[in-house]
């Protein structure tokens, strides 16, 4: 059963409104992360944006190394860790298992990482 729209202006807008397909969000991480690691490690919205804007692409092997680094930091009681992976630095909330931000080599110079209690080189 459908409910008719009683307001003629609203009815007109509803009828003439074009159907819009959902837009692809360019900040969504690569399929490899979403398919393999989303249940073990999350990406914050900020991290997604940084990965996309800086064109940082990590494959399954790299994400596995990051995950291993987070596990090591957790075993030592870390809360917020800097995970260094080849040419990429990731700040990770170990407690929440969430990547907070990502920086590539080109943007590392003169950066200061604050609010971390550990660093892991993977």
**Per-10-residue mean pLDDT, the chain, length 122:** 55 54 42 71 95 92 95 97 96 96 90 94 96
Three-state DSSP class for 93?
strand
Q: pTM for the complete prediction?
A: 0.72
Question: Which helix or strand (DSSP H or E) is residue 48 part of?
Answer: helix 45-53
pLDDT given at position 16 = 56
The whole-number pLDDT of residue 28 equals 41
pLDDT of residue 117: 96
Tell me, what's the pLDDT at 35?
67
pLDDT at 22: 38
Write down the pLDDT at residue 15: 60
Confidence at residue 37, expressed as pLDDT on a 0 to 100 scale: 78
Asked if 21 and 74 count as a contact pair (C-beta separation under 8 A), the reply is no
Q: Write the DSSP symbol of residue 30.
A: P
pLDDT, residue 25, reads 40
DSSP, res 28: S
């Amino acid at each position: 059963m459908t409910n008719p729209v009683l307001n003629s202006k609203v009815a007109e807008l509803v009828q003439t409104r074009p159907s819009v397909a959902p837009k692809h969000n360019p900040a969504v991480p690569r399929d490899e992360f979403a398919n393999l690691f989303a249940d073990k490690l999350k990406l914050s919205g900020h991290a997604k944006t940084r990965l996309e804007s800086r064109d940082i692409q990590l494959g399954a092997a790299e994400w596995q190394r990051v995950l291993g680094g987070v596990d090591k930091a957790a075993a030592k009681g870390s809360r917020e860790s800097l995970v260094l992976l080849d040419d990429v630095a990731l700040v990770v909330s170990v407690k929440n298992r969430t990547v907070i931000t990502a920086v590539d080599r080109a943007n590392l110079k003169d950066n200061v990482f604050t609010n971390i209690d550990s660093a892991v080189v993977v």
